[in-house]
């Protein structure tokens, strides 16, 4: 395993203010780290963005690329930015979990 962590692999796009970066990272990792732990952090790419920030159509997207899977995108339209980040994280977690479960089921056959 490399010294790089999943937190290091996250790109936070400019719609988030620099003073929010650490809070965003703190909200995303922990549970998500455990789900991604089957891969080396160097194999994983993550990007979080927010479109139409502070409007009624605000949308947070967390994109995740892991080996062997199509791009995974978790989204939230929650108006509270902190809650939206958590919703997007949980959406990615569920999709990664489904991918892992499906792959393990195929291996057992």
Please report, for the chain, the start and end positions of each structural domain, with discontinuous segments joined by +.
Answer: 7-108
What SS3 class is residue 91? helix
What pTM, to 2 d.p., does this model score?
0.90
Q: What's the chain's length in residues?
A: 109
The alpha carbon torsion through 28, 26, 42, 107 (nearest 10 deg) reads -40
> Cα dist. 70→20, 54, 91, 99 in Å?
29, 30, 15, 9
pLDDT tens figures, 11-46: 999 899 999 999 999 999 988 998 999 999 999 999
- Tell me which CATH code domain 7-108 carries: 3.30.160.100
Q: How confident is the model at residue 105 (pLDDT cuts 50, 70, 90)?
A: confident
């Amino acid at each position: 395993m490399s010294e790089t962590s999943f937190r290091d692999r996250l790109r936070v796009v400019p719609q988030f203010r620099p003073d929010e970066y650490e809070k965003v990272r703190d909200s995303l990792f922990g549970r998500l780290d455990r789900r991604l732990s089957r891969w080396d952090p160097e194999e994983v790419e993550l990007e979080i963005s927010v479109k139409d920030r502070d409007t009624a159509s605000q949308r947070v997207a967390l994109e995740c690329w892991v080996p062997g899977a199509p791009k995974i995108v978790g989204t939230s339209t929650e108006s509270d930015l902190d809650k939206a980040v958590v919703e997007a994280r949980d959406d990615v977690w569920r999709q990664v979990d489904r991918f892992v479960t499906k792959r393990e089921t195929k291996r057992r056959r």
